[in-house]
Amino acid sequence: MQRSLVALLMLAWLILPGLLGSNSTLSLLVFAAINLVQVIGLSLLFGFAGQISLGQAGFYGIGAYVSSLLATRLGVPPALGIIAAALAPAFLAYLIGRPILRLRGYYLAMVTAGTGLILHTVFVEWGGLTGGYSGVAGIPPIAVGSFAFDTPRSMFYLTTGFAILILFLAHRMVKSSYGRAMRTTRESEAAARSVGIDVSRLKTEVFAVSAGLSGIAGALYAHYIGYISPETFTIDTSINLLLALVIGGVGSLWGGAIGAVLLTFLPEWLHQLQNAYGIVFGALVIVLLTIEPDGIVGIVKRLAETWRRRGNQKLDERTV
């Protein structure tokens, strides 16, 4: 069953661009895949390791600027720049992770939000390097040999390929003994320490992985758009990512995927509402989480369980 589902999804992935045809829709799918890479990283950190972060936009920006500046100023191929875009924020997160991850709850949220604000200020004030508010322009597309990913169709395959690979690796991680250690740490750090888990190290490592995934997303965004500025990497971006995860389902990778798609498509669906978008989005969060704290995934699981019970009940009635 699972193999059939995977095969069906892969087939849809291959033929979807041909069915859509519209570059605007393909572009939205590209952005959805980029958001998915970020939300999966946040899902590992928050949903499985229990560490909230409002600084993901800062790491997203580091990835975008590192890859962009390497390409535009040093001529480094974007394919290599993506590697640097992952390593740079991951290294920074690992350095600052041990001291700040000693905090919990809203204290941790405030400190990570402050980290994001500091990084945004760096993007603005270090104009000689980052271009300040003018940003960085003329960013080349990602290329492998003579082939450039310079169209919505080609970037669809590249970004969704990244998203599928990262979703697969994240799934393997959470199903491994390391994933069990993450969940144990989320439930009780004292219990985790009692069974020999190095809690501080684990939280720092997951924080670094999450930051690295945001860096990859930043590089993909920069090379697709061809231009970046500090306004893309504000705390609003971090809040939207967290809300997307909460709406989809914090404790599920699939919830993160659903949230990332909604984060991308909702503004397009509600574009006619203009300034009312924030009200509608906020109301959706309130209503959804009032109905089901586990988000959309929780609703789907509840419905599936209800249908299963009804099916078993009907089977029992027929048997009698």
pLDDT of the residue at 307? 78
Q: Is residue 285 part of a domain?
A: no
Nearest CA to 99 out of 207, 195, 222, 212 is that of 207
Q: Is residue 24 part of a domain?
A: yes
Give me Rg for the CA atoms of the chain: 21
Q: How far apart are CA 98 and CA 120, in angstroms?
A: 22
pTM of the model: 0.89
What lies within 8 Å, CB to CB, of 31 at 6+ separation is: 221, 264
Question: pLDDT tens digits for 153-165?
Answer: 899 999 999 998 9
Q: Is residue 193 part of a domain?
A: yes
Position 79, amino acid:
A
Q: Is residue 172 part of a domain?
A: yes
Q: Is residue 136 part of a domain?
A: yes
DSSP letters for 143-193: EETTEE--SHHHHHHHHHHHHHHHHHHHHHHHHSHHHHHHHHHHH-HHHHH
Nearest CA to 136 out of 124, 147, 144 is that of 124
The pair of structure tokens assigned to 40 is: 């999966």
pLDDT of the residue at 223? 97
List Cα–Cα distances, 30 to 48, 207, 217, 279, in angstroms: 26, 25, 11, 26
Q: Is residue 63 part of a domain?
A: yes
pLDDT of the residue at 303? 81
SS3 96: helix
* Residue 64: Cβ-neighbour burial (10 angstroms; 0-12, 13-18, 19+): buried
Give every residue of the chain whose pLDDT is below 50, as ranges.
Answer: 1-2
pLDDT of the residue at 312? 63
Q: Is residue 239 part of a domain?
A: no
User: Domain limits at 185?
Assistant: 19-234
How many domains in the chain? 1
pLDDT of the residue at 308? 75
pLDDT of the residue at 1? 44
Q: Is residue 318 part of a domain?
A: no
Q: How far apart are CA 300 and CA 266, in angstroms?
A: 20
